Structure 1
Amino acid sequence: MSAVADRIMKRVRGKGRGWVFTPKSFVDFGTRGSVDMALSRLASAGDIRRIGRGLYDYPRQHDKLGALSPDPANVAKALSTQSGDKLAPSGATAANNLGLSTQVPARASYATTGRSRVRQAGGRSLTLKHSRAPVLDNAPDSVNAIVQALAHLGKDNIDSGKIRHFATRLDDRDMRILIQARPAMPGWMGDVVLKIGAARNG
């Protein structure tokens, strides 16, 4: 096996089973051509699995079922790396995860700063929908989930009960990040963030 392939497998094993990656994950190992060739060889040998165009994973294994499907969240992270777009759970997913909605999206869905599209990976469909709300850089998922949930619910559906509910889901660091991000949000959303902050302090 080539030196590039050896280095790739060392990193893959270090990340652990379930990791989803793209050639960009190994740009420090050589030219794009040499990385692509090494990934192709590793996939052919069964060391890694190709799950989509430019997407690979180190599949989790089940004693009876064999290689398991990739986790949608890990696929989404790899797609974000591949395209350079920022991703967050979609508003519908975020509202469900936060306990504000009982509606479970039929398939994994993410808000993106890029264009809307559907990607197939490892037998799964992921819906990527262009976000009207900002996807915040270097913010925890909990913060981006609240931003997307607010956008999904809409200005007229945010009552005091929901504001209190949001307030219970945030720690001090999350709240500081939300406050700092207000200039990037629509005005009404920034106002709601202030109300959430007041509810936490009330």
Structure 2
Amino acid sequence: MREPNQDQQTVEKPILASIRGRGRGAVFVPTDFLEFGNRKAIDVALHRLVKKGVIRRLARGVYDFPKEHPVLGELMPTAEAIAKALAGRDHTSIQPAGAYAANTLGLSEQVPAKAIFLTDGPTRSVTVGPQTIQLRHTTPRNMAAAGRLSGLLIQAFRELGKEHITPERISQLKKKLPIEKRKAIVKDIKLAPAWMRPLFYELAEDA
């Protein structure tokens, strides 16, 4: 029977290899490594890697393999990368919403202090540095287009409101988004509120 320290060291090596394989900027949670050992050994291995400065603890149970900038030093991961790590832990889906969705599409220059993601899993939030990432439980209908451009557009348009979806903003989206992706949103037209449907058809047209 192996000594506990030997088990922990044995677990640490494949975890480190997995982290390096994900690349700089990767965000992960302990359950991502269950194939390598039990939860206690994984937690100890991650703690050791944090102490060595290899990885960074962002919040309780959330870590990253930080990207390095020659001037700014370690960079913070995106809110979406953190949200995806939390969703992966819970085996759930996420959909950017609110001001974060509008900012993602370039429809708003404001970077929200709270990044909201709709989810079919439990509501939870985590604060990383100055930003709070919130996963907010919602209805199956709101998640029907999750992970697709149509879902992002629905949430961004809902945040901005009908009166603020101007011809200029539609033109801006047409320039930013590839025509193939714009045409695909028509498949989800029934998931969009009635007032958004003409906007979807307009976006799907060639410039």
Give the TM-score range, shorter chain.
Answer: 0.7 to 0.9
Deviation at 1:61, TM superposition (A): 3.8
The verdict on how the C-alpha distance between 1:162 and 1:46 changes in structure 2, with shifts beyond 3 A counting, is closer
What is the letter of the counterpart of residue 136 of structure 1? A
Q: TM-score, normalised by structure 1?
A: 0.74
Q: Which runs of 5+ in 2 are unaligned?
A: 1-7
Aligned to 1:136: 145
Distance 2:103 2:147 in 1: 23
**1:3-22 counterparts in 2 under 5 A?**
3-22=10-29
Per-residue CA shift, 1:85-127, capped at 9, x if unaligned?
433444323434544334x134251332256654212x23224
1:111-165 CA deviation, whole Å, 9 max, x = no partner?
32256654212x23224264785473443xx554423221112234434443333
Relative distance call for 1:44 and 1:97 in structure 2 (3 A) is: closer
Q: In 2 relative to 1, CA 190–61 (structure 1 residues): closer, same or farther, beyond 3 Å?
A: same
Counterparts of 2:118 and 2:68, CA distance in 1: 30
Choose 14-23 or 93-102, whichever is displaced more: 93-102
Residue type of the alignment partner of 1:128:
Q
Give the 3-state SS of the residue equivalent to 1:105 in structure 2.
coil
1:107 aligns with 2:113: yes
Superposed CA offset, 1:1-46 (max 9, x none): 6222111100111222222111232233233343233223333343
- Taking the aligned partners of 2:161 and 2:188, their CA distance within structure 1 comes to 18
**TM-score, L = length of structure 2:** 0.73
Distance 2:75 2:176 in 1: 32
Shift of residue 52, structure 1, vs aligned partner? 0.9
The 5 A counterparts of 1:90-169 are 90-102=97-109, 104-113=110-119, 114=121, 118-121=125-128, 123-128=129-134, 130=136, 133-134=142-143, 136-139=145-148, 144-169=151-176
Measured in 1, the distance between the counterparts of 2:132 and 2:100 equals 12
Partner Cα separation in structure 2 for residue 187 and residue 15 of structure 1 = 41
Structural mapping, 1:1-202, within 5 Å: 2-61=9-68, 67-102=74-109, 104-113=110-119, 114=121, 118-121=125-128, 123-128=129-134, 130=136, 133-134=142-143, 136-139=145-148, 144-197=151-204, 200-201=205-206
Give 1:64 deviation, angstroms: 7.0
Distance 1:110 1:99 in 2: 16
Determine if contact 2:99/2:112 at 8 Å carries over to the other structure: no
Give, in whole Å, the separation in 2 of the partners of 1:99 and 1:68. Answer: 21
* Deviations, residues 152-183 of structure 1 (Å, cap 9, x unaligned): 12234434443333333332331243122223
Matched residue SS, 2:111: coil
What RMSD, in angstroms, separates the aligned Cα atoms of the two structures? 3.2
d(CA) in 2 for partners of 1:13 and 1:177? 35
The number of residue pairs the alignment matches comes to 196
Structure 1: gaps spanning 5 or more residues: none
